[in-house]
Structure 1
Amino acid sequence: MKVAVIGAGAVGLFVAASLKKQGEEVSLYLKNLQDQSLFENDGIHLNKRNQETIINDVQINPTHTTDFDGVIVCVKSYQVEQVLNDYQHVGHRQTKWVFLQNGMGHLKWIEKMTQPTYVGVVEYGLLKERGTSNRVSVKGEGRIKIAPFRGTSSIGKAEWESVFNQDVWTVLWREDYQEMLESKLILNACINPLTALLHARNGELLKNKHYNQAMRSCFAEIMEALGRHDQEEKWKEVERVCNDTKENQSSMLTDLIHNRPLELDAIVGYILKRGEARGIPMPTLQLVYTMLEGKQKSTNKNS
């Protein structure tokens, strides 16, 4: 299968390297053209279980774009709209697209697509090594979950399933994209904003009783805003993820440290809108959102 990966962040590098490692024909689209020669000469460095693999022969920013069987979009949620504007020429009418983003704010942009479209969530702990463009480390083993979104077929799903080699990574298929994305959204909204605001690793939200109380307040508002009735099950899942990733730094905290835009609107903003539509007050979540907005603007101003 001939696959294009759009985005060279931690997820994009991991996906491109994993596909190439299992023998697929892979192209990688970079926004920063200055990095093109680095990738072409040095490849992608994938560090997993303390073993480094150098992945070569990934085509970078190819100009022949119409013969891709699949496109996997691995950018931040707020970049999806721009990707659709810039890369609609990639592939053809039947090219199958997969979008791997946090949150659910990006759905409004992809629901107008006419090509077969899938959405997914990444549960690996991935970190792009600081000061490098072509090196990614797997800090925590996990899974990628994918579900059909628009215009899909059993044949298209079977083609994607044949691509993801379970010996290289773990990819699971789900039928209900709403439940899949919402479950990940709950985790992201409980963990990412607070770790960014408090500059804390994930495990500290369990260890520090005051942080834990704040997370419980956010969780209660999130569940009510989404109209969920599985509080006990989901809270156990939040605790499990915090514990399993206790030494990890959330993606939102990483973005804040590196002065990158935060996925606030795709995660917290989306939930606030859902709650507002149902007439539900969310004072804790609104405060977290407002403080992170201010923190982000202050950081950008001083950088």
Structure 2
Amino acid sequence: MTRIYIIGAGAVGLLMASFLSESGHAVTVVTRRPKQAEKINMLGITRYEINGDQKTFEVQATSKLEITDGAIVIVTTKYDALQSIYPSLAKLRPDVPLLFLQNGLAHMEKVLALQHENITFGSVQFGAQKGEETSVYHRGLGVLKLAIARGDKRVVQLLDFIKLESFSVQLENDAEQMLFEKALLNCFINPLTALLEVKNGQLIHNEHAFYLLQKLYKELMAAFPSVEQTFPFQSVYDLCERTANNTSSMLADRQKNRKLETETIVGAVINKAKKIGQEVPTLQVLYSLLLAVEESGEKM
């Protein structure tokens, strides 16, 4: 049995911990706050299924990053929190495999500067929403895309071994392209839902929001024509429809007055466009509006 450490006890971390525990792995969640670790040790993690059912899984938790030999580490913290744990990750033995599940592209360069022999990046395509400190809602089915940046397939094989109807893995060849495509997908939904303060479905059911979504899509496809086959507009429409009642991660952050992932998602796509000589004025406006909202501290 492989001991798996999950750094980060937000929505993705708790949901991953529940899947791994259900599949028989020994899971330890590393939390920022000792009180949350105490609650997880006492109550386990409760996962609320899409159909309304709920299951509780026994999971260990700690607020100290002490990794045992032969373990695998999955990092699920958001980009800003990631900055504070790089020093701790750098102290881990180089043979400890690392998997990073962050949105955007901003973390990639610094992650690859670590001396670890096995580094894998992941792109979360399923829906997750944190409940209380020991509970998580599985909000939407989807695959976990994985791309090996360095090393062997140990992490991919471990996760591919999970045979659950609600969890599946897809191996990608190019880590940077995979993360870029996820950032692009996030750009269609996160900025608009956060600024308009609407759930995902309103982007296609509200006439004015739908106009903005179409305008943004045309602009990004003109800037990055090579991905248009990967992202036909129908797939964006279907995603909004499939997750119609979901609150996007950026809107959830705004509602809780947390720092938005503006730079790592929107800023990263704008910078990539600049590098190839393309302008994305609509996205640039959304980017500036998000920064203005964040600076003002305005929330719902």
Report the TM-score, using the length of structure 2 for normalisation: 0.91
Structure 1 unaligned spans of 5+ = none
Moved more, 229-238 or 52-61: 229-238
SS of alignment partner, residue 95 of structure 2: coil
Runs of 4+ that moved beyond 6 A? none
Contact 2:40 2:59 in 1 (8 A): no
SS in 1 for 2:163: coil
Percent sequence identity is: 28
The reply on whether 1:158 has 2:157 as its aligned counterpart is: yes
Q: Write out per-residue CA displacement over residues 202-236 of structure 1, whole angstroms, 9 at most, x where no aligned residue.
A: 11111122211211222233234445352684322
Instruction: Say which of 77, 80, 83 aligns to 1:78.
Output: 80
1:121 aligns with 2:123: yes
SS at match of 1:53: strand
Alpha-carbon shift at residue 158 of structure 1 (Å)? 3.3
Length, aligned pairs only: 297
For the structure 1 residues 52 and 224, does the alpha-carbon distance in structure 2 shift closer, same or farther, using more than 3 Å as the test?
Answer: same
Helix, strand or coil: the match of 1:228?
helix
Q: Cα–Cα, structure 1 residues 64 and 269, in superposed 2: closer, same or farther, change >3 Å?
A: closer
Relative to structure 1, the CA distance from residue 46 to residue 229 in structure 2 (aligned partners, 3 Å threshold; closer, same or farther) is closer
**SS of residue matched to 1:102:** coil
CA contact (8 A) 1:66 1:89 kept: no
Q: How does 1:13-52 map to 2 (within 5 A)?
A: 13-48=14-49, 49-52=51-54
Taking only aligned residues, the RMSD between alpha carbons, in angstroms, comes to 2.2
Aligned to 2:292: 294
1:78-227 correspondence to structure 2 within 5 Å:
78-90=80-92, 92-115=93-116, 116-129=118-131, 132-149=132-149, 151-154=150-153, 157-162=156-161, 164-167=162-165, 169-226=167-224
| Stretch moving more, 38-47 or 223-232 | 223-232
Q: Tell me the TM-score normalized by structure 1.
A: 0.90
Range with greater deviation from structure 2 (8-17 or 51-60)? 51-60
3-state SS of 2:69 partner: coil
Q: Are the equivalent residues in 2 in contact too, given 1:225–1:272 (CA < 8 A)?
A: no
- 1:29 maps to a residue whose letter is V
- CA-to-aligned-CA distance 1:82-138 (integer Å, 9 cap, x gap): 222233334x22211111111111112112122211111111111111xx2111011
Q: Structure 1 residues 157 and 19, CA, compared in 2 at 3 Å: closer, same or farther?
A: closer
Cα distance change of structure 1 residues 245 and 36 upon mapping to structure 2, 3 Å threshold: same
- Within 5 A, what are the aligned runs for 1:1-12? 1-12=2-13
Distance (whole Å) between structure 1 residues aligned to residue 210 and residue 280 of structure 2: 17
